Structure formats: C-alpha cells, structure tokens
Amino acid sequence: MLFLPAAALCCLCSALVTMAAEQLIQDDLTLTRRVGENVSFRCGGMEQCYGTDYGFWYQKKKNGTFRVILRIYTNNCGERSRYGHPQENDFLVAKKQNSCELKIEKVKLDHSATYYCNCLKSAPHICLTVGGYFIFGSGTKLSVTDEQVVKPVVSVYPAASRAHLEGNSSLLCVASAMFPPLVQFSWKRQKKNGGEAEELPPAEGEQLELRESGRTIAIRMVDGSDSDTYKYSCWVKHEGGTVEAQTQQEVPAPAASCPPEREPADLPALQPADLSFQSQCRVKLLCLLYTVLIVKSLVYCCGLSLLMILTNKGASTNCTHAD
C-alpha cells in the first residue's frame, strides 16, 4: 500500500508523455456573440475515444475551475447524463457531420467562458490499473459582448540585425489591435527565385509566443544553413479571418563563421519595451528548463518506485515458499 501513490504517479508520467501528441479537434479559437444570439461549439476526433459513453463537455470561466456540463455518447453525440451545472438547461448537444456540438440557443452575459470537450482514450499498455486516460480539445472561448469583431494588424520582420549562432535566424510576428485577443500563428516561406510557398511544419524550428495587453508576439527560429534566400510570411488565424504578412526584408543564410562581437557602443540603443521583451524571453526559457528538469526527476522516481515494487513482490513470494 505504501507504494500505491508512486505507482499512480508512474502511470500519470507515462500518460502525459503519450497525451502530448493527441487531442480532440476544436477549430474555433474564439466565438463572439451578442446577448440573445445562438452559438455552437464543435468537437471532432471522437472516433479515437474509448467506448461510446465516455465523452464530456466542460465550462471554465475566467479565474475559475473546470466544471462538467454533461456527459455524451461519443458515437452519436447524444446526451447521457447531467451533473447539476447551474446553467445546464441552457445547453443542448447534437451531431453535425463528423463532429459533436454543444449549443446555446440564447446566450447570456454569464455564458462567457471557455468550453472544452474531452473523452476517455483506451491505453491498457500504459497503466493496466487505470485502463485509459483523458484527451481534451484545445478549447473555444465564448465572449458575450456588444463589441465588434476586429481583425488583427499583423507585421513580421527579422528579430535581429544579424544571424544567430548555430546557423539559425529568428523571425518576429506581431498581431495587435484585434478583438477577441486570441490568435493562432503559422508560417510559410518562398524561395527568392520564385516558386510556390510552402508551410513550415510545427515541429521544424522553435517558436515562442508572448501575450501582452493588446497584442500577441510569436518568435520563430528558422534554419539559415541553406544557401538560398527565402521570403517568410506569417499567417495569423483569428475569428475575423486569417491575415497574412510578409517580412519587410529577405532573411539571408548566416555566414559560415560567426561575425566578431561588436562593442556595446556600436549596438543600437534599446528602448524600454525591447528590454522588457528580452526579460520576458529569458523568464520563459528559464521556466522551460525547470519544467524539463522536473519531468526528468518524475520519470526517475517512477522507475525507482516500480523497481522497489517488483523487488518487494519478489521478496514476498520467496517468504511464502519458505513457509
């Protein structure tokens, strides 16, 4: 019994590693409605769920916790049971094509929240005692307001005047003056001599996103080892539509050798906003480093706990034979 928490932690660690690449599909980042209008939240990917009655819809208000609205059948998206949500009579469920929908016929101000779908996914190879783990959609934020939806103003340009070390360059894309404030970034590039633009896959390069009041910033690391010069464009997905912006100048490949460091007097003066931005980047990277170290520690503890369980079980078996 003493090792039960450790075993449960081991199952959780394994499940988190597997869940990182799996989720349900909620295409709408945000939805804006006026009081009295209707709204529908879509959730796709239910075919990967375990069984037929392990689907759920959740509501999370600002500074609040996740609260389950109802449970649904994943095969036909029909309602299975409710859980006493104070607004439960305002919600309906239905199936539309290959997705499940949560509907509100007449929205109110207190419906403003983020709505998530989730379901149980079978994973007996991860933890036999649990038999599965839950996967979530990315969530859709509902804003009930009289404000109009406004597309973002997007600009993108090289984040530094010279190439970074290790053969990489960085691009900075800024989306501002939009409502609602949530956006999603993607990147494309095109060769200098023409040709079709190609989308950069999410796994290629590193991207850091920072959110401030009134704007969202994405920094993308790109491979600069290719001898060709590319033009990069930033695509920003928003409720009001998708906006594209290209770099103000071409991004050349870095030289084979690193340029000499310039004296501080040669560097352009940094504005307070630039200093604040660099500080935020350092904090984000430091948090990422600590997260990796914590995960490594948890994996080590899981393995050690499992080894102790097996050792203890073997000792108990030997004692039984001895008696």
Q: Tell me: the pLDDT tens digits for 133-173?
A: 889 999 999 999 988 899 999 988 776 544 455 567 788 89
Instruction: Give all domains of the chain, ordered by start, each with its CATH number.
Output: 10-144 (2.60.40.10), 153-256 (2.60.40.10)
Measuring CA to CA, which residue among 245, 195, 194, 199 is closest to residue 222?
A: 199
Q: Tell me: the pLDDT tens digits for 38-97?
A: 999 999 999 888 888 889 999 999 999 999 999 999 999 999 999 999 999 999 999 988
- Cis preceding linkage at 124, omega within 30: no
Q: Which CA distances in Å does 157 have to 148, 169, 194, 248, 253?
A: 29, 11, 20, 6, 15
Rounded Cα distance between 316 and 197, Å, is: 65
Rounded Cα distance between 241 and 105, Å, is: 24
The single-letter code of the amino acid at 246 is Q
Q: Tell me: the pLDDT tens digits for 158-212?
A: 765 444 555 677 888 999 999 989 999 988 888 877 778 888 776 555 788 888 8
115 strand-pairing partners = 59, 140
Q: Report yes or no on whether pTM surpasses 0.85.
A: no
Measuring CA to CA, which residue among 237, 287, 262 is closest to residue 28?
A: 237
Measuring CA to CA, which residue among 28, 240, 234 is closest to residue 138?
A: 28
